[in-house]
């Protein structure tokens, strides 16, 4: 469990009655990490712009094919074989490119010394990795406490449903609403996801 989780739950519950309800309902659940940057990067690439159910099915096929999710295992398979897992051509290229970068040492740096913004900038150097994917890494691999992925469809829809009667909100309005959750926007985001999904979100 992240060392800040209990404090974050207490403080968010005090300032936001909507979140307080979900925090109480899912009291025994927490954000979990594999601590595996490469795994989470590939899992996030698979999940881009498709439903969670579709992403899970494709990911299961990828794992069945490669076994251990490691660069050399991915690169042991031809492009077409990876593509047949249900990946698009572009996602297959991204996965191969990320595997090549990690095999060349991309992941071997002191990520803990970088700010959230620096981590995002570094990860976005990888082809296929955008801000949303980098934010998933900040949340699920590095457990950074104050990440608010304003481009995440689940987060946006959750906020609109819970705070605005399902009506659309602008990015500025979303960011403004989330200001009240600082410095625990990661925790608020996790509970928003939890309010929408039958199982806790994992990457």
Q: Which residues are catalytic?
A: 152
Longest alpha-carbon distance in the chain: 53
- The DSSP result for 32-67, as a single string, is -----HHHHHHHHHHHTTS-HHHHHHHHHHHHHHHS
Token pair 């076994």 is found at 67
- Residues with Cβ < 8 Å from 97, sequence gap 6 or more? 126, 127, 128
């Amino acid at each position: 469990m992240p060392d800040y989780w209990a404090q974050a739950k207490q403080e968010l519950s005090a300032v936001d009655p909507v979140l307080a309800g979900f925090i109480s309902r899912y009291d025994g659940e927490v954000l979990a990490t594999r601590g595996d940057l490469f795994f989470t990067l590939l899992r996030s690439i698979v999940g881009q712009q498709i439903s969670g159910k579709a992403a899970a099915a494709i990911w299961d096929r990828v794992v069945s094919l490669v076994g251990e999710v490691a660069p050399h295992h991915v690169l042991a398979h031809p492009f077409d074989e990876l593509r047949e897992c249900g990946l698009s051509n572009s996602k297959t290229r991204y996965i191969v490119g990320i595997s090549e970068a990690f095999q060349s040492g991309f992941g071997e740096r002191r990520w803990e010394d970088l700010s959230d913004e620096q981590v995002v900038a570094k990860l976005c150097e990888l082809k296929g990795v955008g801000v949303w994917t980098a934010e998933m890494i900040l949340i699920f691999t590095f457990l950074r406490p104050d990440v608010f992925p304003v481009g995440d469809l689940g987060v946006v829809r959750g906020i609109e449903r819970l705070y605005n009667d399902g009506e659309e909100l602008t990015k500025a309005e979303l960011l403004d609403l989330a200001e009240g959750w600082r410095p625990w926007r990661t925790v608020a985001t996790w509970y928003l996801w939890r309010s929408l999904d039958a199982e806790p979100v994992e990457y």
